[in-house]
Amino acid sequence: MKKNRGIGILYILGAAAGFACMNLFVGLAGDLPTMQKVFFRNLFAALIVFFLLLADKQKFHIKKGALPWLLLRATAGFLGVVLNFYAIDHIGSISDASILNKLSPFFAILFSIILLKEKPKWWELLFVLVAFGGAMCVIRPSFDARVLPALAGFLSGACAGLAYTAVRILGIKGERGNMTVFFFSAFSTLVALPFFLAWYQPMSWLQFAYLVLAGVSAAVGQFFITAAYRHAPAKEIAVFDYAQVPIAAVLGFFFLSELPDAWSYVGYAIIIGAAVLKWLITLLADRNARKKAACPTQNAEK
């Protein structure tokens, strides 16, 4: 199990790097319509998974009862990508956009109450409030249009949290990971296509190359994160996905000359700190539960 958890951590760090690079290339692509960027981000992932499914015995078969959840995952994921890319283009820092999008695990707790009828522990809800407080440091609410990009980043985290909850339900129903990725990517590509054609803006070859790299990086991130959760439970390794934030900050500094302000760093510390503490408490609670479960067996043997 330790070996599997180690491999899972390596995969999720690879996913964090992939998504951080995606955000970088989206930023480097410059002043292009958001839907144009969304189209290319999903097109390449859809093509890659399409050929993988062709080689699969089940091809494009969807499990019974999975279609509504695939639609929910795809719709929420698509909106999350649109809002995230809008935030990247307008918020002024890819690390700020990344940390707001990484509120998704906290939103997933809230959506699991509604969709899975789960009862979170009081300290999980406390960490949700703490993380949202950290988000306010990054957003710095104001009563003018300047708050819109940060609000978009915040809502992208909500959409991602809903999408990940749907992914959990699809896993429970036995739907294949590749089918889930393909449905989301193909759905997003088709929905973005009319907007892409209507507001298409001519690109330089360099901009086109950046969008291709953004799509490839997104596909790498999706495959790595899927592989990570096959090797270890999310509760044991999900916190390492926050490595995307410092990676994005370094990339933003060297390639986009971005330097987040002090309030952003305070927000990063609060959100990542809440995630780490939640992770540690969850592991400790699970370990204590296993010890209690083992006690009756030990007593019986005596």
What was the pLDDT predicted at 144? 66
What phi and psi, each to the nearest 5 degrees, are found at residue 27?
-65, -40
What pTM does this model have? 0.86
Whether 108 shows a pLDDT value over 50: the answer reads yes
pLDDT level of residue 296 (50, 70, 90 thresholds): low
- Span 243-254, average pLDDT: 92
How many angstroms separate the CA atoms of 34 and 24, rounded?
Answer: 14
Whether 208 shows a pLDDT value over 80: the answer reads yes
What was the pLDDT predicted at 22? 94
**Taking the domains of the chain in order of start, what are their residue ranges?**
2-301
Phi-psi region of 176 (alpha: psi -120 to 50; beta: other; left: phi over 0): beta
What are 119-161's pLDDT values in tens digits? Answer: 888 888 999 999 999 999 988 876 667 789 999 999 999 999 8
- Span 242-267, average pLDDT: 91
pLDDT level of residue 297 (50, 70, 90 thresholds): low
CA distances 197 to 33, 48, 191, 194, 200, Å, are 11, 23, 11, 5, 5
- Span 18-26, average pLDDT: 94
pLDDT level of residue 182 (50, 70, 90 thresholds): very high
How many angstroms separate the CA atoms of 177 and 73, rounded?
Answer: 12
Least confident interval from 25-29, 85-89, 124-128, 288-292: 288-292
How many angstroms separate the CA atoms of 135 and 62, rounded?
Answer: 37
- Span 276-282, average pLDDT: 89
Matching residue, tokens 């003018």: 144
Whether 187 shows a pLDDT value over 80: the answer reads yes
- Span 30-43, average pLDDT: 93
pLDDT > 70 in the chain, percent: 94
Mean pLDDT of the chain: 88
- Span 212-240, average pLDDT: 81
pLDDT level of residue 298 (50, 70, 90 thresholds): low
